[in-house]
Amino acid sequence: MRDVIVASGVRTPFGAFGGTLKDFWLPELGAVVIAEAVRRAAVLPEEVDEVDMGINLPGSDRSIARQSMLKAGIPETASANSVDRACCSSMAAITMARRGIQAGDVNIAVAGGTENMSKVPYFVHDMRWGHRLGDVQIKDQLIIADPMTGKPRAVQASDEALEFGIGREEQDAWALRSQELWKEAWEAGRFADEIVGVEVPQPKGDPICFDRDESPRETTLEKLAKLPTVYGSKTVTAGNAPGLNSGASAVVLMGADVAERRSCRPLARIAGWSQVSGHPDKLASIPAAAARKALAMAGLNVDQVDLFEINEAFAAMPLVSTKVLAGGDEERLRRLRDRTNVNGGAIALGHPTGATAARLVLTVAHELRRRGGGVGLAALCGGIGEGECVIVRVE
């Protein structure tokens, strides 16, 4: 099979719930990152064969990838696929594009995701054929719960964390770490290579350029400890979980042979991948299961990975998954956590669910390049007991 390289990768800043990006439709955000990723890869729009975009909460809109592609200036002859695998959606989009390239059906593809959780509508079911006397129920899609078990995600994450002996204090400490590392990284300019600003129209005057993640906040362990738990969870609070965010991310993928002919310097090479599924309640450990499968496929072990990005859907996810990957070795666990989410994670910068997974891939690739190369692993949970992983190698 053909080797696949990441030619470029970019994301918008991630907006807070009800924040600066709240009025953007999904294709508008998607178009921003598609156009910029193509520009940075020195690819002409007409050279793109396929665009795959992940979306978790499309609301009332459809064919998001196709709309995003056309708004970004990609010719109408290119194919487009909108992908829903919950929080894994944009990594599933990368997988779809990778498979097409490896099969020889595609030479150059754009893959990523777009989400605006501020624009998710309320749903009114069972109204098409009328409604008898009585109350009408409005469904809020942002009350995030497992559709199979009915359990809130926060309860699932908390229960599994406690099974591994990871309590509230440890989760709050990880959340504080995320905030502090994001601040340190931002002030050092480490996100400059991965972010593209978004022009935001104003009621009066010129548009502003939105170019900074909106959710990070100053906090302390004392403040975090005072927050109430949410949704009946034993440990999860608004402080050790991400917000309901908005943003988009995209990478340009191509065959290594195509990159060589174009004298393209890859951002990274895809060295391993996996898609896994398990029990719907085991969200916190499924990134580790995905990582193990991808590592085995790449012929690597955890000690050979220089950097990890494990999505902070809750603090429980990186804490549980690193514990699983360490296999009971406390020193290995310490080293693993030191190499995980080194610039902070979703608790600080945000988790626009359809766009997060591709963000993990481009973040680890950019950080490895900044450090002079190495192996990076990006993994996350999603949906009803699903998980996904991509391993990249930066020369």
Which structural domains are found in the chain, ordered by start?
4-120+242-394 (3.40.47.10)
Active-site annotation holder among 87, 88, 264, 389: 87
* 88 included as an active-site residue: no
Distance CA 197, CA 36 (A): 10
Q: Report the pLDDT value the prediction gives residue 1, as an integer from 0 to 100.
A: 79
87 an active-site residue?
yes
59 versus 187: the higher-pLDDT residue is 187
CB atoms within 10 A of CB 258: 20
Per-residue pLDDT, 316: 98
d(CA 194, CA 198): 13
**Straight-line distance from the first to the last Cα atom of the chain, in angstroms, rounded to the nearest whole number:** 20
Q: How confident is the model at residue 226 (pLDDT cuts 50, 70, 90)?
A: very high
Catalytic residue among 88, 351, 366, 389: 351
Amino acid 8: pLDDT: 97
CB count in 10 Å sphere of residue 141 = 13
Q: What is the pLDDT of residue 149?
A: 84
Provide the percentage of residues in the chain whose pLDDT is more than 90. Answer: 91
Q: Which residue in the list 88, 264, 366, 381 is annotated as catalytic?
A: 381
In percent, how much of the chain has pLDDT > 70? 100
For residue 145, the model assigns a pLDDT of 84
Cβ-Cβ contacts under 8 Å for 364 (sequence gap 6 or more): 307, 308, 309, 376, 377, 378, 392
Over range 43-51, report the average pLDDT.
Answer: 98
Band the pLDDT of 125: cuts 50, 70, 90.
Answer: confident
Residue 37: its pLDDT value, please? 98
At 225, give phi and psi (nearest 5°): -65, -25
What pLDDT band is residue 171 in, cutting at 50, 70 and 90?
very high
Confidence category of residue 28, pLDDT binned at 50, 70, 90: very high
User: If you average pLDDT over residues 65-89, what whole number do you get?
Assistant: 97
Mean pLDDT of the chain: 96
